[in-house]
Amino acid sequence: MSQARIDLSSSPLSQWNGPLGLPDFSAFDDTAFEPAFDAALAAHAAEIDAIAKNPDGPTIDNTLRPLELAGDALSRISSIFWCRAGAHTNEVIQGLERKISPKMSRHFSAIAMNDDLFARIDALYVGREKLALDAETDRVLEKTWKGFVRSGAKLLPEQKTRLAAISERLALLGAQFGQNVLADEKDWALYLDDGQDLAGLPDFLRTAMAEAAEARGHKGKYAVTLSRSIYEPFTTLSDNRPLREKAFRAFTMRGENGGEADNVSTVAETLALRNEKAGLLGYETYTAFKLDDTMAKTSQSVMELLQPVWEKALERAGEDQQELQRLAAAEGQNHAIAAWDWRYYADKLRTEQFDFDEAEIKPYLQLKQVIAACFDVAGRLFNIEFEEKPDVTAWHPDARVFEVKNPDGSRRGVFAADYFARPSKRSGAWMSALQSGYHLGGGSEPIIYNIMNFAKPPRGEPALLSFDEAKTLFHEFGHALHGLLTEVNWPSVSGTSVSRDFVELPSQLYEHWLTVPEILKKYAVHYKTGEPIPAELLDKVLAAQTFDAGFGAVEFTASALVDMAFHTAGKTPDDPIRFENETLRDLKMPDAIAMRHRTPHFAHVFAGDGYSAGYYSYMWSEVLDADAFAAFEESGDPFDPALADKLRRHIYSAGGTADPEDLYMAFRGRMPKPDAMMKKRGLVT
């Protein structure tokens, strides 16, 4: 099908005629994407050309407004495609991703470096004080101007050409990196037989492993996969040390196995191009470039956060390691605690200290109940309701669709969720949007989705979550609420369009409501008996929230520090793996703990540019979320109506309409200190 035959006004990829304003996923196949992209790119380029060449002087209405609304078809097609690329890919989609990523980069580089267009934006920005703009419009104009400058609008022609080439290459490298990790995850499985192979494994994990094996054509076997929903409980509970080591090595070597899926050279080239890009734009390092548009502003500010946490984490982890070594010795094991031993003995230590383990709590955490808890909290805080629409289909049969309603019954938006792991889905958990919410022009209702990778149970049986998985679900739903509750005029500041080190506040803050006792008492019910979680067990669960704090802080902070080291060095390491090892050696990284994300599979940082020089953002936001929830604790009511109203107006609904510090100050009345975060993590008392 050629580009000439694509009519964007009737294409099901750009004209969404499905229920609830969704695309009709049954109305097109994978071959429709490429010609639709080509047509939409051409249409968007024509819109941009018309704005840039408008003979009238620039105004908000003839320049900024149409620029914000341009490319609607491209946005719609892109949102479907990137959803599929992450959540339900195949060889056709992956091939298109490698073609479309650089093509999109070329397209947006051309827009950013359009001299006529930038001249109009520049004139508006320079004369903005005379325009009497409202605060949101003024911020959008400023962000737009800065976006052009940061994309090379002020560079010399030959510099623009080079920057565009760099951006195009980085887009392809990011796509390849993510696909390589997925290939390693999809291709590896450890198939086990009943008996000694399964020693120590509880029924819920055996069931999940049997289901995973059957899905891969090995019925009757039990599969250890590289999905965290199986890998982590296996390395926590398996009595078979050699098998734990095999799983650990496979998990940590993703992207570093040689062959076509190896990411080491991809990382090296990515780092070199990022350094060159920063230099072209006048920055000493790539970190300086990335942090210039964040709350942190400088690498010094980031290190002032990370370094004290690292020191406390090392101290705490050292104390815990001695306890783990004691438990191993008591079993007659003389080996030093290795990285594939930590979770195993930590689980035993938790049982010793708190008299419960993962197998005891998991029967009380049914997926359907945790989802209901998420919705209930949202209703109590923000007065919205979720109604499932089981007859509405999305990109995969497992994806579920919910209509989100305001108190008067009107539709606020649509929420979709795809909870289970499968070979066609990349690992991890994330939130994204098929459509953002805003009021400009004809307006747009938000269509937001969450992706998870929980182990899928056999048909007819409930999915049971670990406590960490339940927190992940709350976390991603917090992001979803940030998108669903948005109340902005301009598309570019809608929902999660905020600085990287502020975007995790709504998600990490929402996690706190999972541990509110009245929520757990209501929704943590046994999947067989329906009995609520016993008060004694609930008390143990809550008391153990900071257990193994050193391990968690070390594995996260090591990843953040390596990310910062890569992008602050100012030069490209000859061997990224050696650089990683040397950085960890200098940090005195314990041998018994691995980074949460090693370099060859660090998708946050290398499968695109999202969290490069920015993985610290989770901890930066954690300082905010610990302090924010403390406001509810101080009020004595986790659902305090006045606080909930301020939280909605200034955090969840405000998007990027104001500086993040101003938004937080409007909610809390002051900026926080790291103390509450350190206490929440259990690193200080």
Catalytically active residues are 476
Q: How far apart are CA 215 and CA 193, in angstroms?
A: 16
Query: Is residue 617 a contact partner of residue 497, using CB atoms and an 8 Å limit?
Result: no
Q: How far apart are CA 40 and CA 34, in angstroms?
A: 10
Q: How far apart are CA 30 and CA 215, in angstroms?
A: 23
Concatenate the DSSP letters of all residues of 495-532 into one string. TT-S-TTTTTHHHHHHHGGGG-HHHHHHH-B-TTT-PB
Tell me the residue type at 498: V
Q: How far apart are the first and last CA of the chain?
A: 65
Nearest to 370 by CA among 523, 231, 233: 523
Cα 88 versus chain centre, distance: 17
Q: How far apart are CA 674 and CA 624, in angstroms?
A: 8
Query: Is residue 145 a contact partner of residue 121, using CB atoms and an 8 Å limit?
Result: yes
Query: Is residue 681 a contact partner of residue 549, using CB atoms and an 8 Å limit?
Result: yes
Q: How far apart are CA 52 and CA 297, in angstroms?
A: 32
DSSP letter assigned to residue 599: G
Nearest to 431 by CA among 516, 379, 374, 489: 374
**Range list of H helices, 29-71:** 33-52, 65-69
**Which residues, at least 6 apart from 319, have a Cβ–Cβ distance to it below 8 Å?**
550
Q: Is 684 helix (H, G, I), strand (E, B) or coil?
A: coil
Q: How far apart are CA 572 and CA 593, in angstroms?
A: 26
Tokens at residue 576, please?
């990224």
The dihedrals phi and psi of 439, each to the nearest 5 degrees, come to: -105, -15
Q: How far apart are CA 484 and CA 465, in angstroms?
A: 25
Q: How far apart are CA 378 and CA 477, in angstroms?
A: 9
Neighbouring CB atoms inside 10 A of 217's CB total 7
Tokens at residue 231, please?
């890998």
The dihedrals phi and psi of 119, each to the nearest 5 degrees, come to: -60, -40
Tell me the residue type at 382: F
In the beta sheet, which residues pair with residue 464? 366
In the beta sheet, which residues pair with residue 224? 190
Q: Name the packing angle between helices 72-87 and 33-52 (round to 10°).
A: 140
Q: Is 403 exposed, middle or buried (0-12, 13-18, 19+ CB in 10 A)?
A: middle
Tokens at residue 216, please?
């891969």
Tokens at residue 58, please?
């620039």
Query: Is residue 604 a contact partner of residue 618, using CB atoms and an 8 Å limit?
Result: no
Nearest to 358 by CA among 202, 251, 241, 513: 202
**Which residues, at least 6 apart from 259, have a Cβ–Cβ distance to it below 8 Å?**
none
